[in-house]
């Protein structure tokens, strides 16, 4: 058994969330609007606005920030301590050290791009943490957060490439032949990236994006039309993520449209323990269209809008104010924009030209079919493994259809929509009806293969033969039929619901926002942490049980249970008593009162495998051995 099974608390989740964790603020109302007429190039500069998706993770320099060498040494020491604790099996200590290493490097006062050593160390830390999380996921702990993929924009935005003059004539000829609703300029900067995308490395990026674009193209174009935006804005997604919903940048931007958490919240994209709407292709597309519309209304120029989407409206506004020019190419020439932003617009223009006529550039790709599925709402959380076994698909297929779901369990949210493969909703509801909803987070389904027996399945799932037989209306000695699908009434949850998470309070957090992230109440949060007031200090570490389910071993309720005097003739000899369940009692509290165990109560009262206790139930309690 792996160490992750013994301690399923997520070791490294918080480390990866240092720069991206956020809380929900209400969704923006969708408004359909056409872009306004462009403003003159040298009009008075717009008001400075908050930073946008890409630069929010850059911390402000502190007056007494450490030298790069000192910061590198401190980060490396924390990282090595995490490695040593992990290898020694001290998982909680390892998590804290990895968390500290990432915190130090992101809050040290330096942009990662300022020093190659910082960038390389950060990539090494994140890569190591990702590898450990992937190992935990393969062990089936069901707790690890959804994996991420590197964002392509990180790979290409810092590149420079020579210009191939032979491409200019081809690009100009294509520009006359293909329709476009964004202005396209062909200059040396654009030609440089056209040349890069002809190399094996660049071609692979383009091909991957064009192939995946088939999954979301129809949906993205529909939303852009509904929001009154140019359809060619779809190529931002090609550049940002190659249409990969799980794309994660070095700065912490996520999803097809690479939203930072704060900007996503502004446009109604929620981030909780269970879901991240930035990873939802449709919701994030709607948010991106609205954000781009707002930026265009501010700047009145599409190239400045694209630049502001990359580096933030504040960055572009300051560049205009410094130079007096509201023209992207003039700002480019004067080197007043970040290097990544200067390259960002030429990258999009080059990708737009290639995507409109790939064959002209020697690229032939068959797009993947559009994503289609059945959306269902469930009143109770459910484990994706149970869903997959019920409709005979893989968990990977379900994850691909539901990229915004961070866990293997759906949230306790009646409005959450789970997407199933097209045409499987009826089968799901027909088969899941045999399993009580309160068991959906840990019961399983199993399709029998040749040679399997009840005793073999009992050993595999670590439950009794009788439990499987009872759940399926079988006798313990019955032979199993090949392809028969059995209910497996697991006796111990294997889900993250109720598992302890230690959350460090960050700037802007409130008790209400933290509670919303983890689907718990403020009252529960205060109770678990002994908080009497309404405030929580930045830097404090909170104990949280996601979903509001406190594990039995952590329950502090004191039982006032008293044994009932009712006994049967056989009970007199054995010392057993019958207990009538009272309102508010739990199995753990009852077991504690009688100095026995929950497992012993379940073994004596086998009906407990089918449903939880209710007030008025009669429990047979055997004396402790």
Structural domain spans, the chain? 3-23+37-145, 155-361, 372-430, 501-554, 569-621
If 0-12 CB within 10 Å is exposed, 13-18 middle and 19+ buried, where does residue 175 land? middle
| Tokens representing residue 384 in the block | 């994706």
The domain made up of 569-621 is a member of CATH 3.40.50.2000: no
Domains 372-430 and 569-621 share a fold: yes
User: What local confidence, expressed as pLDDT, does residue 60 receive?
Assistant: 41
User: What local confidence, expressed as pLDDT, does residue 450 receive?
Assistant: 92
Write the Ramachandran bin of 12: left for phi over 0, alpha for psi from -120 to 50, otherwise beta: alpha
Q: What is the pTM of this model?
A: 0.59
Contact 91, 3 (CB under 8 A): yes
Return the residue matching tokens 């909780």: 272
User: What local confidence, expressed as pLDDT, does residue 391 receive?
Assistant: 95
User: What local confidence, expressed as pLDDT, does residue 361 receive?
Assistant: 86
Distance CA(270)–CA(622), nearest Å, equals: 49
For residue 276, give the DSSP letter: B
Counted residue by residue, the chain has a size of 625
CA angle 253, 141, 513 (to 5 degrees): 45
**Residues 6+ away with beta carbon under 8 Å from 352:** 180, 182, 184, 232, 235
pLDDT along the chain (625 residues), means of 10: 34 36 34 37 38 42 68 90 72 72 76 74 74 46 53 64 69 76 88 87 90 96 96 94 90 91 92 89 97 97 96 94 95 92 92 90 91 92 92 93 90 90 95 90 89 89 86 89 89 47 77 77 83 82 68 37 31 55 77 75 75 78 67
Could you tell me whether strands 577-580 and 485-488 are parallel, antiparallel, or unpaired per DSSP bridges?
Answer: unpaired
Determine the topology of domain 372-430 in CATH.
Answer: Membrane-bound Lytic Murein Transglycosylase D; Chain A (3.10.350)
Write the Ramachandran bin of 547: left for phi over 0, alpha for psi from -120 to 50, otherwise beta: left
Q: Which CATH superfamily is domain 501-554 in?
A: LysM domain (3.10.350.10)
What is 155-361's CATH number? 1.10.530.10
| Tokens representing residue 437 in the block | 């909803």
Q: At what angle do helices 384-391 and 425-432 cross, to 10 degrees?
A: 110
User: What local confidence, expressed as pLDDT, does residue 540 receive?
Assistant: 81
User: What local confidence, expressed as pLDDT, does residue 295 receive?
Assistant: 97
Contact 432, 440 (CB under 8 A): yes
| Tokens representing residue 502 in the block | 């230690």
User: What local confidence, expressed as pLDDT, does residue 516 receive?
Assistant: 73
User: What local confidence, expressed as pLDDT, does residue 373 receive?
Assistant: 93
**Residues 6+ away with beta carbon under 8 Å from 184:** 175, 349, 352, 353
């Amino acid at each position: 058994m792996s160490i992750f099974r013994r301690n399923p608390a997520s070791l490294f989740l918080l480390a990866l969330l240092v720069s991206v964790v956020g809380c929900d603020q209400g969704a923006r109302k969708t408004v359909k609007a056409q872009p306004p007429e462009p403003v003159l190039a040298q009009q008075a500069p717009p008001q400075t606005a908050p930073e946008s998706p890409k630069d929010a993770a850059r911390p402000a320099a502190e007056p007494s920030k450490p030298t790069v060498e000192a910061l590198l040494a401190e980060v490396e020491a924390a990282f090595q301590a995490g490695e040593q604790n992990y290898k020694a099996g001290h998982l909680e200590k390892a998590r804290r050290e990895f968390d500290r290493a990432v915190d130090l490097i992101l809050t040290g006062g330096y942009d990662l791009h300022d020093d190659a050593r910082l960038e390389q160390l950060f990539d090494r830390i994140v890569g190591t943490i990702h590898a450990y999380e992937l190992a935990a996921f393969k062990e089936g702990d069901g707790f690890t957060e959804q994996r991420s993929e590197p964002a392509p924009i990180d790979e290409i935005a810092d590149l420079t490439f020579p210009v191939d003059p032979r491409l200019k004539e081809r690009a100009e000829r294509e520009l006359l032949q293909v329709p476009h609703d964004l202005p396209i300029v062909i200059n040396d900067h654009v030609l440089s990236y056209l040349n890069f995308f002809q190399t094996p490395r660049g071609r692979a990026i383009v091909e991957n994006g064009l192939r995946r674009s088939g999954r979301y193209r129809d949906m993205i174009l529909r939303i852009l039309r509904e929001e009154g935006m140019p359809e060619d804005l779809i190529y931002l997604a090609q550049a940002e993520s190659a249409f990969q919903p799980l794309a994660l940048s070095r700065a912490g931007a996520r999803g097809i449209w690479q939203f930072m958490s704060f900007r996503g919240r502004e446009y109604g994209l929620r981030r909780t323990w269970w879901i991240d709407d930035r990873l939802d292709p449709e919701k994030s597309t709607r948010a991106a269209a609205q954000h781009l519309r707002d930026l265009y209304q501010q700047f009145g120029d599409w190239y400045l809008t694209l630049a502001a989407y990359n580096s933030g409206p504040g960055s572009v506004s300051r560049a205009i104010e410094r130079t007096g020019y509201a023209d992207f190419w003039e700002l480019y020439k004067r080197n007043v924009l970040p290097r990544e932003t200067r390259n960002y617009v030429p990258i999009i223009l080059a990708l737009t030209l290639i995507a409109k006529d790939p064959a002209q550039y020697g690229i032939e790709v068959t797009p993947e079919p559009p994503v289609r599925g059945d959306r269902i709402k469930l009143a109770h959380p459910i484990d994706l493994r149970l869903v997959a076994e019920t409709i005979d698909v893989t968990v990977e297929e379900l994850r691909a259809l539901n990229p915004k779901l961070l866990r293997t369990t759906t949230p306790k949210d009646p409005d959450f929509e789970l997407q199933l493969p097209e045409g499987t909703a009826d089968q799901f509801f027909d088969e899941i009806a045999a399993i009580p909803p309160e068991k959906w987070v840990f019961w399983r389904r199993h399709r029998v293969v040749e040679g399997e027996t009840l005793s073999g399945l009992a050993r595999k799932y670590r439950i009794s033969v009788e439990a499987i037989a009872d759940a399926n209306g079988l006798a313990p000695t019955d032979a199993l039929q090949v392809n028969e699908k059995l209910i497996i009434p697991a006796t111990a949850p294997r889900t993250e619901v109720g598992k302890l998470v230690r959350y460090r309070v960050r700037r802007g957090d409130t008790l209400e926002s933290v509670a919303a992230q983890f689907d718990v109440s403020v009252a529960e949060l205060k109770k678990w942490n002994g908080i009497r007031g309404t405030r929580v200090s930045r830097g404090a570490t909170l104990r949280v049980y996601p979903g509001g389910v406190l594990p039995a071993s952590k329950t502090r309720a004191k039982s006032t249970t008293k044994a009932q005097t009712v006994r049967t003739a056989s009970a007199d000899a054995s010392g057993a008593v019958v207990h009538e369940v009272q309102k508010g009692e739990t199995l753990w509290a009852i077991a504690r009162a009688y100095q026995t165990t929950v497992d012993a109560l379940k073994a004596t009262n086998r009906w407990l495998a089918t449903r939880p206790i209710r007030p008025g139930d009669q429990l047979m309690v055997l004396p402790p051995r």
